[in-house]
Structure 1
């Protein structure tokens, strides 16, 4: 690096080398969900900074040893800022960060940090509460299916926030998750969706990354909710709304800090109030009063006058775990590994 600086000092007309920024995705960028939306953030970085940056990505990287190898390769190829965008990348990212203290790392949805490793996540569960209002009014069978990925707190928060909100509208609502054990597997997602519909579900939610559940819902004539990005085009009649992850501002801000030399390790957990989580357009076939109530919930969460986990809340065994007027702390939310009342099935071991 010293030699490069010396060379540029001797040749003032030469442009500074671009900052190499890398992104690692758990699924393909064509998943139209989680990885797709992160890649939209990468493209926003390119648009914002032009030739000041050079971005690259590796898609469909399994969580575990493969992730460590890919992260290390990115460092060795000159990347100075690396975003690793799945929970299971946490330990591999931390290990590589300790090996290369002069490289900046950003890990999505984790909780481990270093001086050169930040964490960031979005409060997706806030959007689930908004959707819960819709489902509480719209379900005719009182059965909702939930295509779930892997049993981590983020996914439990979504299931529970949705269930609490839906049952406050309609206490008869029951939510049944099917866990597929993966973030992205269109075949498994579709099979789970079909099984849930066969069990009587007339609304489908998902915490998986492909539009397969929305497509299945459209084929079977029931409602569905998109995940991570606006999935309306995959089932316009079925798509109630989507909980959209909006990473662009965060990525642009962190790249700017890296360019300015002001980057430091931080922990960010944004939601509806910060714009990191957005609701896509509500289906025009939904009753106006139902949409108005859902929007009121969204506005109350943004204003801080309502919280998806404000008591009273009971767990699956019927025990009060959040007293009336109390609210679960962020610490409790970050460690969530249980179901609220109204969720069917056992918590995966």
Structure 2
């Protein structure tokens, strides 16, 4: 090879490397609901937008909304990988197996799955510790209820949802020993009509505080109409029912998405299991109703700070299951692995978990 040709090749390689360095990181997102659900998917998309704003033209993002869990999810995730996305976030429990299958076929790409547990060298998991916010929710509900009854609209019987029902009950019981909780399984993440029907049924059964693990503001609107309390899910829902709105538990994904993209860009990302809570500013208690007493607001602040600092963990024993069997000894805190597999109600909950 001549000297001139060597120089030309070196220049070409340098320009190619520079072009690659200047290319934006392509990041894909898969949402189970619409970005306008004002709940879970909406908040993930807010995190995506914050990440875009932070990195500017260093990133290029794509999202797909309303993706069904199962075969549709795998096709969507695979298309995002084929389209050249370097990093793909899949944001629902039912996306776990599809994500794992696609990740195995694309070892040169990075995949992050929310709320699941399957990992690989190029597949990590992440979670917002919603049970921390739910515990505070329960305490607030226990202080304001006049019927001593909380209604809970549950989505699907997965560990995350079961944990959160338990956390609401434990938080409420910590301030009100007479508390009861009624649960309706909606078997959906987002269906405003179905959610509203569930809320009305629970209120017909005596619940005067409605908590939801579904994503539309329909339950809060139903509570507002009937003069009861409701709690915002994933985002600040106070404007949907200003009188009914007790507080909102917000999932702020921006810190996690920004940090993860930064690590992928720097080549320092490693697979793991991230749990972000109140202490990480991933879970936030916002828009506490101004009609609450100073004592009630002070209690909410006290619990939020104690959980954020690690002084209080909602799942510290002694804890029994519904049958009265000791599951968590006194002074022992459940591990992440135990919480990730929670499939039992704590003692005092008069409800069943669908099989």
Counterparts of 2:124 and 2:213, CA distance in 1? 24
1:140 to 143, 146, 162: 146
The RMSD of aligned alpha carbons is 1.8
SS in structure 2 at match of 1:82: strand
Of structures 1 and 2, the larger Rg is shown by 2
* Structure 1 residue 22, shift from structure 2 partner: 0.3
Alignment of 1:105-254 (within 5 A): 105-254=111-260
- Corresponding position: 1:94 with 2:100: yes
TM-score by length of 2: 0.94
Residues 14 and 271 (structure 1), Cα distance of their counterparts in 2 relative to 1, 3 Å cut: closer
The aligned counterpart of 2:36 is 30
Is 1:21 equivalent to 2:27 in the alignment? yes
Distance, in Å, in 2 between the alignment partners of 1:196 and 1:296 is 29
Structure 2 residue runs of 5 or longer lacking an equivalent are 1-8
TM-score normalized by structure 1?
Answer: 0.95
**2:310 — aligned with what?**
304
Residues 277-312 of structure 1 deviation map (CA, whole Å, 9 limit, x = unaligned): 111121101111011112111111122221111223
Query: What is the Cα deviation at residue 169 of structure 1?
Result: 1.4
Counterpart mapping for 1:259-338 below 5 A: 259-338=265-344
Stretch moving more, 111-120 or 162-171: 162-171
CA distance in 2, matches of 1:41, 1:149: 23
* In structure 1, distance between residues paired with 2:312 and 2:339: 16
The CA deviation at 1:10 is 6.1
- Runs of 5+ unmatched residues, structure 1: none
- How far apart, CA to CA, are the structure 2 residues paired with 1:339 and 1:150? 14
8 Å CA contact retained: 1:8, 1:16 = no
How far apart in 1 are the matches of 2:265 and 2:325?
51
The answer on 1:57 being equivalent to 2:58 is: no
Aligned partners of 2:207, 2:46: CA distance in 1, in Å? 32
Q: Deviations over 1:62-114 (max 9, x none)?
A: 01111000000001111010000001100000000000000110100111111
CA distance in 2, matches of 1:14, 1:94: 27
Q: 1:215 to 1:301 in 2, by over 3 A?
A: same
Cα 1:179–1:12 change in 2 (3 A) is closer
Instruction: Tell me by how many angstroms 1:257 deviates.
Output: 1.5
Which 4+ stretches in 1 moved above 3 angstroms?
Answer: 5-8, 10-15
